[in-house]
Amino acid sequence: MSYQLYGLMHRGLMTYSGKGEVVPALAETVEQVDSLTYKFMLHDGLTYHDGTPLVADDVRAALLWYADPANSARSYPGVRFIKDIAIASDTEFTITLNSVNLSFLEYLADPSAFIVPQNQLSADVEATNGAGPFKLESWDEGVGLVLTKFDGFYGADDVTLDRIDVSFYSDATARVNALLSGDVDFIDYVPWESYDQLEASGFVVHGEVGVFQSAIFNVETGPFADPKLRLAVAYALNRENATAAAFFGHGTSLFGVPGSGPTGENLWEYNPERAKELLAEAGYANGGPKVHLLSNSTYVFLRDLALSVQADLEAVGFEVEFTSPDWPTFTEEAVAGKYDVTVQGNVGNVQDPAGWLPRLVQPRPEANKSFGYSNADLDAALAEALAAEDAGARQAALDRAYKLIGEDVPFATINQRMQAYAYTDRVSGFEVMLGFTQPYSVNNLINVTITG
């Protein structure tokens, strides 16, 4: 199940409000005692959907499981800072960190940081018994599921829907057709080419930018082990064309680190002449090297984005070999570094760049980060920013990190894409969260009213 369904069926200690602000969830109260210590009090009488009590020991077991790197939890970058969880009672406990992390509570709000019975803490078990606003009534795997309101939810009085029927569709066209035909009232991941059609047909199309796309590199072997050639790519990318080609113009160009402010958002520019100069400085005055651009045939927008990148690279002198296998093959090849450059999407776990950037630039084999990249100075600057308690020192450390990213180019950002939901006029009260919380907006279905 996706984190969108987890957000309906589960809850963690914290969650996001309708506007995307971090607020207490299973925790009725949270007190930051000092920079390393957080004291939590759970709501009285919490239970899972099957009636089993939810107690502090469950919280401890879940958070420590997520903090184990062997479990590859999405919330790991934040919960790995946990040093100790001291339990005072079934409803009261204190978490002590081993280092300051200003984003710690936001990591606890991630929909994947939910609390479940300890027998569900396994990669082999589907976590369906939660403590969230809706419980699983039935599940037809691959077809759909039915969720019904959980009356034992701590905020049940504020949940306006009694039932949600979820249907799975194989592709974007099928989702759009289901909405147009009246089979469903609400769809997510509206294809960009359908925005105008749906609006013209009387549906609400509501979205925000969040996920960002980048060119990422094999820096271990091949031409892009040379940072000058990575920098050449950053200057060669025509981001406006890329947004038009892949997202029908529904997005914004990126020339640096999203959400980083003036010192981090303007690291590069579209300057193909500068790209050619860098190629010459790297020893390719009479034409660039041959590079393998890996894409995939499953996600058309990523393929179209990669084709735009191919045209940009060829325009400044690179010779590009383009391959586009299916998604499983692409993922296998990307994790193994069987490419020179590829295009992938990313979204931060938290809004703070000091919190999410380390995962994108530190060595860990993932398909959506540059293969083999490592920079000790960059790691140190980000660690200093994350641990800083003084705002000035924190910004100075971040500015050093942005400068290193601009020069060393562990990734070359392209754009942030608009991600939209579409629904009928029977639906009211739905809000779309901003920034990196945008993908969690389905959580706001608890506030929706259906009329007619």
- Of the pLDDT bands very low, low, confident and very high (cuts 50, 70, 90), residue 70 is confident
pLDDT of 291 reads: 97
Helices in 190-349 by DSSP H: which ranges? 195-200, 227-236, 239-247, 262-265, 272-281, 300-316, 327-335
Rounded mean pLDDT of the chain? 93
Burial of 289 (0-12, 13-18, 19+ CB in 10 A): middle
| Prediction pTM value | 0.88
What sign has the CA pseudo-torsion 201, 206, 208, 212?
negative
Residues 6+ apart with CB under 8 A from 124: none
The DSSP H or E segment spanning 442 is none
CA–CA distance, 301 with 36 (Å, rounded to integer): 43
pLDDT of 216 reads: 96
CA–CA distance, 151 with 163 (Å, rounded to integer): 12
Mutual angle of helices 227-236 and 272-281, in 10-degree steps? 160
Is the pLDDT confidence value at 95 over 60?
yes
The arithmetic mean of pLDDT across residues 289-318, rounded, is 96
Is the pLDDT confidence value at 4 over 90?
no
Rg (CA), the chain: 23
Is the pLDDT confidence value at 13 over 70?
yes
Range with top average pLDDT, 171-175, 197-201, 437-441: 197-201
pLDDT of 348 reads: 84
Is the pLDDT confidence value at 411 over 90?
yes
Q: What is the pLDDT of residues 357-407, one digit of tens each?
A: 988 898 777 888 899 999 999 999 999 998 888 889 999 999 999 999 999
The arithmetic mean of pLDDT across residues 110-121, rounded, is 91
- DSSP for 374-387, please give it: --HHHHHHHHHHHH
The arithmetic mean of pLDDT across residues 86-103, rounded, is 94
Is the pLDDT confidence value at 1 over 70?
no
How far lies 411's CA from each of 61, 72, 117, 217, 346, in Å?
A: 36, 22, 39, 7, 11
pLDDT of 368 reads: 85
pLDDT of 76 reads: 85
pLDDT of 73 reads: 81
Is the pLDDT confidence value at 156 over 80?
yes
Amino acid at 206: H
pLDDT of 97 reads: 96
Amino acid at 134: F
- Of the pLDDT bands very low, low, confident and very high (cuts 50, 70, 90), residue 196 is very high
Domains and CATH numbers, the chain: 3-120 (3.90.76.10), 136-206+420-450 (3.40.190.10), 210-417 (3.10.105.10)
